[in-house]
Chains A and B, each alone.
Chain A
Amino acid sequence: GESVGLHLPTLSVQEGDNSIINCAYSNSASDYFIWYKQESGKGPQFIIDIRSNMDKRQGQRVTVLLNKTVKHLSLQIAATQPGDSAVYFCAENGAGGTSYGKLTFGQGTILTVHP
């Protein structure tokens, strides 16, 4: 199962640097893996997803990498900006067509971007 608690992993970077946020997932049968961003006082916001048969997907300033061998997912943010400061969650939707939308979220990582 997942480890839980108040002490989330944290990542602190300077504005303009590239950020890499990591996530270990548990269900090797999951069909999709998704990244969400949650700013203080707001609900999570979809960033990007990747299907289990892919190992890389790029979006605008973001890249998601999937390593199924070690059950590892990462989110790379290029040229990080202060507006990227938030908690980032990885999520998986399990296996099968009825599981879409029923997401299992990880613990989250706090990203702080310093100007």
Chain B
Amino acid sequence: EAGVAQSPRYKIIEKRQSVAFWCNPISGHATLYWYQQILGQGPKLLIQFQNNGVVDDSQLPKDRFSAERLKGVDSTLKIQPAKLEDSAVYLCASSKRQGPGANVLTFGAGSRLTVL
């Protein structure tokens, strides 16, 4: 099966500019996640969707980050305005299963953001 697709792979912007990342999960996967991975650290959960509804966005900095998953398939993550500390890899992941099987996430390759 095709993996989780993300674009763009790389993006360089200046602080205060905006950026958007796109994710297409594995077909049939109802649950979609966005994780932020700062260099040298493990991924950190930003937001979880179940179909087109938000399940958990408690760690999303809502003053500058927004995410949506229209029609319960693709998702976009937006940052506006970007700060230097937003430099990171933004990973999209999806899961088909429920219960403990939901811990088996399939990650995309990520979108690397550099904020200058």
Residues of A within 8 A of B (CB): 2, 4-8, 31-32, 34, 41-46, 49, 51, 89, 91, 93, 97-98, 100-108
Known A8-B40, A101-B33; judge A43-B100 contact (CB<8 A).
no
A7 to B41, CA, bound (A): 9
Main secondary structure of the interface of B (DSSP, over half): mixed
Main secondary structure of the interface of A (DSSP, over half): loop
Distance in Å: Cβ of A52 to nearest Cβ of chain B: 11
Could you say which of B11-19, B62-70, B73-81, B101-109 contacts chain A? B101-109
Report if B2 contacts A (CB, 8 A): no
Residue ranges of B at the interface with A (Cβ–Cβ < 8 Å): 4, 31, 33, 38-45, 48, 55-56, 91, 93, 95, 98-110
CB contacts (< 8 Å) of A97 on chain B: these are 99
Name A105's contact: one of B42, B56, B106 (CB within 8 Å).
Answer: B42
Which residue of B4, B101, B102, B109 contacts A41 across the interface (Cβ within 8 Å)?
Answer: B109
When distances are taken between beta carbons in the complex, the residues of chain B under 8 Å from A43 are: 4, 91, 93, 107-110
Given the contacts A43-B91, A91-B42, A107-B42, A100 and B109 also touching, CB distance less than 8 Å = no
Among A34, A46, A51, A101, which residue has the most Cβ atoms of chain B within 10 A?
Answer: A101
Q: How far, in angstroms, from A42 to B110 measured CA to CA in the complex?
A: 7
